[in-house]
Amino acid sequence: MKIALCQINPIIGDIEGNKKKILNGYKKAQIDKVDIAIFPELSICGYPPQDLIEKREFREAVNLAALELSHQTNNVALLFGSITEKEERVGTGIYNSALLAYEGKIQFIQNKTLLPNYDVFDEVRYFESAEKVFIHEFKGEKLGISICEDIWNDDDYWKRRRYSRDPIKSLIDQGTTLLLNISASPYAYGRRKERHDMLSYLTKTERIALAYVCCTGAQTDLIFDGSSMCFDSSGTMVKVGKNYATDYLVFDTTNENPEVDHYEAAFEEEVLNALIFGLKEYATKSGFKKVLVGLSGGIDSALVTYIAAQSFGAENVHTVLMPSQFSSEGSIKDSEQLCENLGIHYDIIPIQPVFEKTLQVLQPAFGNLPENVAEENLQSRIRGLYLMGLSNKHGYLLCTTGNKSEMAVGYATLYGDMCGALAVIADVYKTDVYRISKFINREEEIIPSAIIEKAPSAELKPNQKDEDSLPPYETLDRILKMYLEEYKEIDEISEEINDYELVKSVLRLVDINEFKRKQAAPSLRVTTKAFGYGRRFPIVQGWRK
């Protein structure tokens, strides 16, 4: 069978726009005289539509678009993701469905069986699970059609499964001769290799070919990398889609196809490309054409500025240097050098006059209390005031520059450096910020070496260093990864770190700063456990006081 995999970039809620993208891919498939053109999960409405699903008018528009698409089909089949509804006495009555249309009408519907309800997934909230799966005979093949998660539960591959049902096993038991999976699988580093290994094992074990199509694009914090894959019946990957881009692949199961063995690059390259793509997608889909970054002279804001320049073009990036009496001369010079290296425009707007006036105005209310974090945070909030003012005046997309390590322990100021529409590197640990920055400089010095080599500092008081308040980032990040991503607790982490009191203090910082993260800008997700929608912990709690 000749299959066209149409790796498109839907926009959530843009039903007419998504329909056009599907039609354009289908017309190309008609010209290529394929047997079937397949599109990603929920490709008409975009994934994840979240509470839009609960709007009756939204569902009606999606269903109408699906019907209109089916009317434009001929003997080339069209497989795409949509929603369907049934009048149910209990439950939502709404299904995440794969629709197969040809000869002017919808000929077959397969509803999704396994509804993920973990991390960023919340499908049980909206959809009903398919009661059964069926094969569909088409042009001499018995098609086994599944949707995303349905293929992630192979009893032979996974040591521990999330679900008792295995829809793929059921399709194979029914005699399917070809597997088709339509997907919307969010990116995290390592996920592409996991997909490859799992799908390769499945197709080799069951001796069956597979076409797996995934959407590309980014939807707020979720990045979809595309990278659609095709496997022959020996488990060999013979086709792979582009990363972070739309693509169109033709997979002919009757041909001898050469093996494709490159599907995931090194960590630094992968994450950097994902962040560049995610920022560009967020801005484009939100209507922004220019970006604003506050440059501190530190490595985090330098990395975000580089990412912005790659996403928008240097001519569309504006930076602001906002020195105070505590800013070192090197921080200003290093920031200027970075801007010169990247070819971007910058302004220098000191905060000292406003800071001094603010202290004067607040003095009667502050009284004779000694200086503390209040004075430090005022400086950060004045910078936030400047940045938001410039963003409003010029229509810039303001990017925050905090990393994951800082966000984890609350080393950030609400309404200060946390001001902004998107947290570009808030899912990147500090140690990884260094790795990526050095990767950027692998051929020439773009981020000044002085920025990479200097000791990290917020520069909010004399001779301040991050390690005055925090353990070394190498140690901090080891603790955070175990706590945030592996859900290890204090005793187990302490066995590896060999410092119980340090681990206890770090974990306490993570827990008591949940209130800050709840108010933070959405962060681009590049790990399997990012802050935001996929990590839900209470602000008020008594687990660790």
Tokens 């049934």 locate to: 86
Residues 6 or more apart whose Cβ sits within 8 Å of residue 230:
3, 5, 209, 210, 211, 212, 237, 238, 239, 240, 249, 251, 257
H/E segment holding residue 404: helix 404-409
- Residue 407 in contact with residue 531, Cβ under 8 Å? yes
The answer to whether residues 416 and 384 touch, using CB atoms and an 8 Å cutoff, is yes
Residue 475 vs residues 112, 115, 429, 486, 501: alpha-carbon distances, Å: 43, 37, 12, 16, 13
Question: b/e for 274-289, b at 16 or more Cβ within 10 A?
Answer: bbbbbbbbbbbbeebe
Q: Which ranges of 85-152 would DSSP assign to H, the alpha helix? A: none
Q: Are 211 and 230 spatial neighbours (Cβ–Cβ below 8 Å)? A: yes
Sheet containing 237-240: give its strands across.
Answer: 135-138, 141-147, 178-183, 209-214, 229-231, 237-240
Q: Tokens representing 272?
A: 């950097």
φ, ψ of residue 146 to 5 degrees: the values are -140, 165
List Cα–Cα distances, 201 to 34, 147, 160, in angstroms: 27, 18, 16
Q: Is the CB of residue 505 less than 8 Å from the CB of residue 499? A: no
Beta strand pairing call for 209-214 and 178-183: parallel
Torsions phi, psi for 346 (to 5 deg): -145, 155
| Cβ pair 461, 326 in contact under 8 A | yes
CB atoms within 10 A of CB 48: 23
Find residue 48's DSSP bridge partners: none
Question: What residues are labeled active site?
Answer: 41, 112, 148
Could you give the CA distance from residue 430 to residue 403 in angstroms, rounded to a whole number? Answer: 6
Alpha-carbon gap, residue 272 to 444, rounded angstroms = 17
- Find tokens 């299904």 and name the residue: 95
> 429: closest CA among 458, 409, 454, 459?
409
Residues in contact with 307: Cβ distance below 8 Å, sequence separation at least 6, in sequence order: 272, 275, 276, 279, 424, 425
Inter-residue contact 519 to 532 (CB < 8 Å): no
